[in-house]
Chains A and B, each alone.
Chain A
């Protein structure tokens, strides 16, 4: 059964334009999804190259290859690019490709806005990267850009940075308005909220978080701009302001932001695990409620990033307990994934391998997060490599693995071609080993007191740092293999069927692979139960 109209090429009226203009003028969710994903992939290699510079510098103690000033620029831009240029755009790309197909809509609700949301991103990152060649060099104050490092002591390029952040924020806000509107308004008849695929649910809540906190980030950079150029004193104690205020505003954005980078991953992993366990997800309702409660709690935990800044004791306690509370809904999700696999007829194709690794390694990151949440203990851990280990565990084998898993899982659907399973598995095992080699030893050096964001370290940390660097180079190389697998599938892959995966459920699998340029020009009827897949 297929909802695709054969011979849609007769429908020239809506076919894609030819050449480059197809990509510049497109309003098609599939084209825009591909643009986002390729953009994110390119930025992954740029941000990755910066990480390689960092690890080369830290390969041995002492000043090795770059100046401390340049090292700071590398750390800062690596973080900014990975967060705003890789993880977020990749998730938006997946949302574009998948949400309309999963809810039975022809496209996103506001297609022209959708094009705009994408094309301002390369503009913003182009400007950010251009600052490397400007007077004073690129931003060097860390991806958290704390005042006064980012105000009084910042290079002049901070002004471009501020406007670039504004544009990134605008892109996210417009993208999220589009996602929310699509989900609330464009579902096929019969798709009630509690029947929506979990990826759609996770994005509905993510989009809400984005619209709530990106404007706060815009407020923060605006205050910086005023302090730097127009004499205000938001973050200057001499005028009655407070640099700590910056941290509060930043983390009011920042903590929901880290959940923005993980909630869509929860949705992806749920789909992959149910497919390769050949069982529906265990506890669908509790999955939805868990995502929602994580999102709500994420608004009241921000100051766990500031335990050492000098808060009143009541604040320390409040933020410690509220942070620990988040572990409960997170635990619900992890146990639901395990229960879905329990007694399933499991197979271990590449997407499933990445999904299982996600569950295991993300949990490690969650547990180190719990350690950091203990305020008195955090006085020891704060600003050490232990924190670096924590957030890399949730972001690399967490968010990034989920994106890679999603690409393997849906690539046959998008392109119509299978990837090479052997190469995919090779990519997985190389990534899995090297990611742990890179980030696990960071826990040890962190607990022993190695500070983050410093280009040199004491002799005692030398051995572990060398292991970490070797792991990092290996991980970087493995991602070139990923590029190879994707290109090989697109150009030389075997034809994929519409169903692709035996156990896959959901509307997108009822379509051909690749789906027609416009799918669901008439809504599929779910009430009749025929489009269940």
Chain B
């Protein structure tokens, strides 16, 4: 089937319908769990947990069978090229998801917050809370009673105190890890498996350090800075942008961990290591988003 003149034609498969079922459970489970938040007794979370079990289970089987089929040599060059395109466009869709949140941040910073503060010719919104002064970060919200603003923000503290600023260490971790995964890939391509494995371990360690530091930062925000999801638009944009990014780092770190485990198990050859390559593109993507994020969320 892998000869050049004929195409790869797939068999029918039970995997997708099970996945669809898992996603149906997820919609019902997530919807009911969230709607029941704050209710005394609710069992909805069982449905949600079941859906996760189904989804992760099917994913495991699905990826294993793709790997097996590939190892059996069932895949043509053309199919492998399809995987490359598929992954590239998937990352593009992720870029556009982040774009929505960056758009929201840009809009409130450039337009709606200044308008609330009375700037601009169309700024009738200012009559709602005439006392509101537009600053960024918004520390005192227009309706500060219902949306108490944060006491402190996360902005860069000045160059001498850089080492006390968590995002600095986070940036260091993530940028370095983007380099180390490139080194891992390069080592693999040259057939240096020992170097490949150690660079992978370094990469995922840096990834998990990032996640840990991010968690620490959230703890600080909630415990000592009054910076919460409910702290008005600054808290909103801060947590949603860094939160979704952090979620993607977790995902990327899990992917890379699996790739490392497979690597230790002897998977990947010098020429055939698409799973690893895809994970590495994803990691670079997460890195680029972080750099943009540091600039617009923390620095400027």
Chain A residues in contact with chain B, CB under 8 A?
Answer: 14, 16-17, 21-22, 24-28, 105-107, 109-113, 115-116, 119-120, 123-124, 126-127, 156, 159-160, 162-164, 166-167, 170, 173, 176-178, 180-182, 184-186, 211-216, 218-220, 222-223, 225-226, 229-234, 236-242, 244-245, 248-249, 252, 310-313, 518, 520-523
Residues of B within 8 A of A523 (CB): 5, 7
Whether the Cβ atoms of B7 and A123 lie closer than 8 Å is no
Chain B contact residues, majority secondary structure: helix
Whether the Cβ atoms of A181 and B34 lie closer than 8 Å is no
Given A119-B20, A124-B27 in contact, is the A232-B97 Cβ separation under 8 Å?
Answer: no
Whether the Cβ atoms of A252 and B26 lie closer than 8 Å is no
Which of B141-149, B174-182, B190-198 forms part of the interface with chain A? Answer: B141-149
Sample of 15 A–B contacts (CB below 8 Å): A24-B17, A109-B79, A110-B82, A115-B17, A116-B16, A160-B27, A211-B92, A218-B100, A233-B233, A237-B125, A238-B146, A240-B113, A240-B147, A241-B108, A242-B111
Whether a CB of chain A sits under 8 angstroms from the CB of B138 is yes
Shortest distance between the CB of B108 and any CB in chain A (Å): 6
Closest to B24 in A: A123
For the complex with contacts A214-B93, A220-B100, A232-B229, 17 further pairs of A-B residues with Cβ separation under 8 Å are A22-B12, A107-B7, A107-B10, A115-B16, A127-B27, A159-B35, A166-B27, A170-B23, A181-B85, A226-B236, A231-B228, A231-B229, A237-B125, A239-B233, A240-B138, A310-B122, A312-B121
Residues of B within 8 A of A109 (CB): 79, 82, 85-86
Contact count band on B: 35 or more
Whether a CB of chain A sits under 8 angstroms from the CB of B67 is no
Interface centre among B9, B37, B146, B230 (most CB of A within 10 A): B9
Residues of B within 8 A of A212 (CB): 92-93, 96
Residues of B within 8 A of A241 (CB): 108, 112, 232-233, 236
Q: Report the bound CA distance from A237 to B6 in whole Å.
A: 60
Shortest distance between the CB of A384 and any CB in chain B (Å): 23
Q: Report the bound CA distance from A16 to B11 in whole Å.
A: 9
Closest to A313 in B: B121
Shortest distance between the CB of A473 and any CB in chain B (Å): 35
Residues of B within 8 A of A17 (CB): 12
Whether the Cβ atoms of A229 and B10 lie closer than 8 Å is no
Whether the Cβ atoms of B147 and A238 lie closer than 8 Å is yes
Whether the Cβ atoms of B90 and A239 lie closer than 8 Å is no
User: B165-177 interface mask toward A, CB cutoff 8 Å, 1 = contact, 0 = none?
Assistant: 0000000000000
Shortest distance between the CB of B90 and any CB in chain A (Å): 6
Q: Report the bound CA distance from A310 to B230 in whole Å.
A: 27
Q: Give the 9 A-B CB pairs with smallest separation, nearest first.
A: A219-B100, A238-B143, A240-B233, A242-B112, A239-B147, A231-B230, A119-B20, A116-B16, A215-B97
Residues of A within 8 A of B112 (CB): 237, 240-242, 244-245
Q: Report the bound CA distance from A310 to B13 in whole Å.
A: 53
Closest to A105 in B: B7
Whether the Cβ atoms of A230 and B13 lie closer than 8 Å is no
Whether the Cβ atoms of A181 and B97 lie closer than 8 Å is no
Residues of A within 8 A of B85 (CB): 109, 177, 180-181, 184-185
Given A220-B100, A240-B234, A520-B7 in contact, is the A215-B93 Cβ separation under 8 Å?
Answer: yes
Q: Which of A24, A120, A522 meets B7, CB within 8 Å? A: A522
Whether the Cβ atoms of A219 and B122 lie closer than 8 Å is no
Residues of B within 8 A of A245 (CB): 104, 107-108, 112
Q: Report the bound CA distance from A228 to B86 in whole Å.
A: 34
Interface centre among A110, A242, A523 (most CB of B within 10 A): A242
Shortest distance between the CB of A323 and any CB in chain B (Å): 20
Given A105-B7, A106-B9, A240-B138 in contact, is the A112-B15 Cβ separation under 8 Å?
Answer: yes
Closest to A173 in B: B93
Q: Report the bound CA distance from A404 to B31 in whole Å.
A: 36
Q: Report the bound CA distance from A398 to B295 in whole Å.
A: 45
Q: Report the bound CA distance from A234 to B89 in whole Å.
A: 28
Whether the Cβ atoms of B20 and A120 lie closer than 8 Å is yes
Residues of A within 8 A of B94 (CB): 215
Q: Report the bound CA distance from A520 to B9 in whole Å.
A: 10
Whether the Cβ atoms of B28 and A312 lie closer than 8 Å is no
Shortest distance between the CB of B83 and any CB in chain A (Å): 8
Closest to A164 in B: B27
Q: Report the bound CA distance from A231 to B239 in whole Å.
A: 12
Whether the Cβ atoms of B34 and A219 lie closer than 8 Å is no
Whether the Cβ atoms of A234 and B233 lie closer than 8 Å is yes
Which positions 71-107 of chain B face chain A at CB distance < 8 Å?
A: 78-79, 81-82, 85-86, 89-90, 92-94, 96-97, 99-101, 103-104, 107
Closest to B136 in A: A240
User: B103-138 interface mask toward A, CB cutoff 8 Å, 1 = contact, 0 = none?
Assistant: 110011001110010001110110011000000001
Residues of B within 8 A of A520 (CB): 7
